[in-house]
Amino acid sequence: MKYSEAKQGRVFVIRLEDGDIFHEEIERFTKEKGIARAYLNVVGGADKESLLVVGPEESRAYPVNPMVHELYDAHEVVGTGTLFPDDAGNPIVHLHMACGRGENTVTGCVRNGVKVWHVMEVILVELLDSTALRLLDKATGFKLLVP
């Protein structure tokens, strides 16, 4: 385990609107507000054709080839995640979302594009006094958190 400590900064209550792409809007917002690191909590709706990364094709194969799932209709969602900069200072969202419709639920990472269905509510908690970054891990191809 690796860890570092941070302090809580500003708290933002955000409403994303119909058609917004979740990670793009959050990354744009954090750039505008000068937020480098944050914790995110999300509830709302995801629209059809939203894309989730739902696991690797093979559990221990390298390079990692992600499986992508497309939502077939509007889904209720709940998600939690983080935002940290990469080595170039770009904010990178890493958030997993559970998406349900009727008796079906799928959970995955939002990095391929989750589109808001009418509304998504986000609580963003800024993290201060941290130097944590996302750095490229050559083995997996992921930008991993380095606390």
pLDDT at 76 (0 to 100): 98
| Predicted confidence (pLDDT) per residue in 5-53, tens digit | 999 999 999 999 999 999 999 999 999 999 999 999 999 999 999 999 9
Mean pLDDT of the chain: 97
How many folded domains does the chain comprise?
A: 1
For residue 139, what pLDDT is reported?
Answer: 87
Question: pLDDT at position 113, please?
Answer: 98
Looking at the domain assignment, is residue 43 inside a domain?
yes
Q: Is residue 141 part of a domain?
A: yes
pLDDT for position 63? 85
Within-domain flag for 128: yes
3-state class of 134 per DSSP?
strand
- Asked whether residue 1 is domain-assigned, the answer is no
pTM here is 0.95
Given a contact cutoff of 8 angstroms between Cβ atoms, the answer to whether 16 and 25 are in contact is yes
Its domain, for residue 78, covers 7-146
2, part of any domain: no
When pLDDT is cut at 50, 70 and 90, the band that residue 125 belongs to is very high
Instruction: For residue 66, give Cα distances in angstroms to 47, 56, 62, 92.
Output: 21, 4, 11, 18
Whether residue 102 lies inside any domain: the answer is yes
Q: Does residue 25 sit within a domain?
A: yes
The count of other CB atoms within 10 Å of the CB of residue 141 is 12
Residue of 16, 17, 10, 24 whose CA lies nearest to 92: 24
Q: Closest by alpha carbon to 37, among 19, 66, 10?
A: 10
Domain presence at residue 23 = yes
- Tell me, what CATH number does 131's domain have? 3.30.1330.80
